[in-house]
Amino acid sequence: MDIGILGTGMVGQALGRKLVQGGHRVCLGSRTADNPTAAAWARGRGPNATHGTFAEAARFGHLLFNCTAGVASLEALRRAGEENLRGKVLIDVANPLDFSHGLPPTLAFCNTDSLGEQIQRAHPEVRVVKALNTMNCEVMVDPARVPGEHHVFLSGNDAGAKRTVATLLSDAFGWPPQRILDLGDISTARGPEMLLPLWVRLWSALGTPDINFQVAGVSVRTAAAIPQPISTPVSGG
């Protein structure tokens, strides 16, 4: 599949690396066409790894990842251009971290709003799915790095988009379907975004980012009680 990744930080690079390894074509987007980080990422990865502006990456991808800094995401998506975003599935991986209060970061907004909701409101024709923001980027693309039955959460208004994302998480990153939990509509993104303050403190207390959250009690649920289902193929692949 052709995938556009907005953002050239650690998260965008890790997702892009894994997707190219899996045979997908990836365009890494940033503010400028000649971003040296993006160019260095693409170099040596073969013809499936390219880079460009936010607009070029968005135009390229049938499916998009938002991996920009959360407080800059709305501006990045504005630069990507509505004509390049319309109708597409956008996986929002970002957290609106605010470092102005010092460390650890707070959230720029939360509780009565979320970045996922802000993006969905600003781009009503984009099918936004919040996912993967609750863990380190190395765990996102290799969940077996953390032992145990830990989970990844999905929030979004479009059931088809969530199925597409779930299939990608399984096929490209190795998430077993039963460990992908559908929380509900995009307003449920508040929960996973508000996990960040605990995640940061656990990282500090335990001295490693190789952790993830598991919802204990889920594994013994009957299948009927587990949010459904994750079997539709990724479209446009």
By CB under 8 A, tell whether 160 contacts a second copy: no
3-state secondary structure 40-65: HHHCCCCCCEEEEEHHHHHHHCCEEE
Give whichever of 43 and 101 is closer to a second copy, judged by the CB atom: 101
Kindly indicate which of the ranges 2-10, 41-49, 170-178, 180-188 contains the residues binding a second copy, using the contact rule CB under 8 A: 180-188
Provide CB contacts within 8 A for 221, sequence distance 6+. none
| 159 near a second copy, rule: CB under 8 A | no
82 or 185: CB nearest a second copy = 185
From CA 158, how far away is CA 132, in angstroms rounded?
Answer: 17
Q: Of 156, 73, 164, 70, which is closest to residue 117 (Cα–Cα)?
A: 156
Which two three-digit tokens encode residue 158? 């479009």
Q: Which stretch binds a second copy (CB under 8 A): 6-14, 19-27, 79-87, 189-197?
A: 189-197
Q: How far is the CB of 220 from a second copy (least distance, A)?
A: 6
Phi-psi region of 90 (alpha: psi -120 to 50; beta: other; left: phi over 0): beta
C-alpha pair distances (Å), 37 with each of 7, 12, 34, 50, 92: 10, 11, 9, 12, 21
111, 125, 144, 223: which one binds a second copy (CB under 8 A): 111
92 binds a second copy (CB under 8 A): no
Query: Which C-beta is closer to a second copy: that of 22 or that of 197?
Result: 197
Residues in the site for a second copy, rule: CB under 8 A? 101, 106-107, 110-112, 146-150, 153, 181-184, 188, 190-192, 194-195, 197-202, 204-208, 210-221, 225-227
